[in-house]
Amino acid sequence: MKKHLHIALSTLIFAAASFGAVNYPVPPSTAIVYSNAQTKTNTGVCSGSNCSGGSGSGVAWIAANQTTPSLSGRSTEFYNQGSGFDTLWYWHLGAQNKATNIELSFNLMVDNNSLVEGQAFENGPQQFVGGYKYSMTMQCEYPKQIWRVWNQAAHGWTATTVPCPRWTPNVWHKVQMYITTNHTKHTETYHTIIVDGKAYPIEMTLGVTNVGFHDNLGFQFQIDNKKDSTMGGIHEWVDNVKLAVW
């Protein structure tokens, strides 16, 4: 018993030391964890202005279980091409209404075209409880090179002070985010984002809205192309997607 307690405390101390005073808890043993979630069947895709927000048209596709490039041997590849064309891919995993702590981590890689064609890259978990949509989406916005968070109540983006330089192409990056939801007050709090091992506090609470969706839990990825995009499309790969909720 003492040995196990020592290991557990060491793990917690290491996590605290790695990320300083930033709020990023270690999931408890009772947490529900979806590992390599990118290998699960993609639930849907949308490119309309009322869904992904884009105003243009183009071509997009998704390819699962890619061996190259990959870390696990089962990455998922996205492709998006078109001026002002935004495409959203999403996964629904089933309702987890008791969960109010949500951590999403994943690796991503983009190609060289992303530097000249990319407007933004979005990702994040989603939760639907009692018709309310807890979007929890974060966006690496390229023009200002900052992270923005989705404000569901205002139906728009809210800027943070966290920098997000354009992703270095053809290199794997790691992203981790911690968000909590309050199903009584109908709010979501963006606590922390960790990029390639560097942690940034956000601590921003925003309201959500009732959209009438069925109860569910999931995550999403989105590519936004620049409005003056003229070259080929953008490739993005994601791997080791892990969603932990409790």
What is the full per-residue pLDDT of the chain (246 aa) written as tens digits? 433 333 333 333 334 434 556 899 999 999 999 999 999 999 999 886 667 666 678 899 999 999 999 999 999 999 999 999 999 999 999 999 999 999 999 999 999 999 999 999 999 999 999 999 999 999 999 999 999 999 999 999 999 999 999 999 999 999 999 999 999 999 999 999 999 999 999 999 999 999 999 999 999 999 999 988 776 799 999 999 999 999
- Other CB atoms closer than 10 Å to residue 173's CB: what's the count? 14
139 and 192 Cβ atoms separated by less than 8 Å: no
The CATH classification of domain 22-245, taken from the options 2.60.40, 3.90.550, 2.60.120, 3.40.50: 2.60.120
Give the SS3 label for residue 20.
coil
d(CA 47, CA 27): 34
pLDDT of residue 59: 92
Alpha helix positions (H), the chain = 2-19, 114-117
Based on DSSP, count helices (H) and strands (E) in the chain, helices before strands.
Answer: 2, 17
Interacting residues of 208 by C-beta distance below 8 A, sequence separation 6+: 132, 133, 134, 135, 152, 153, 186, 187, 188
DSSP class of residue 36?
T
pLDDT of residue 22: 84
pLDDT of residue 231: 67
- Cα distances from 229 to residues 44, 56, 84, 141, in angstroms, run 25, 10, 7, 16
What token pair was written down for 4?
């196990």
219 and 36 Cβ atoms separated by less than 8 Å: no
pLDDT of residue 12: 39
Residue with tokens 């290998």: 39
- Other CB atoms closer than 10 Å to residue 179's CB: what's the count? 26
**Cα-flanking dihedrals φ and ψ of residue 35, to 5°?**
-100, 150
Alpha helix positions (H), 108-210 = 114-117
Residue type, 139: Q
84 and 227 Cβ atoms separated by less than 8 Å: yes
The residue extents of the domains of the chain are: 22-245
pTM reported for the whole predicted model: 0.89
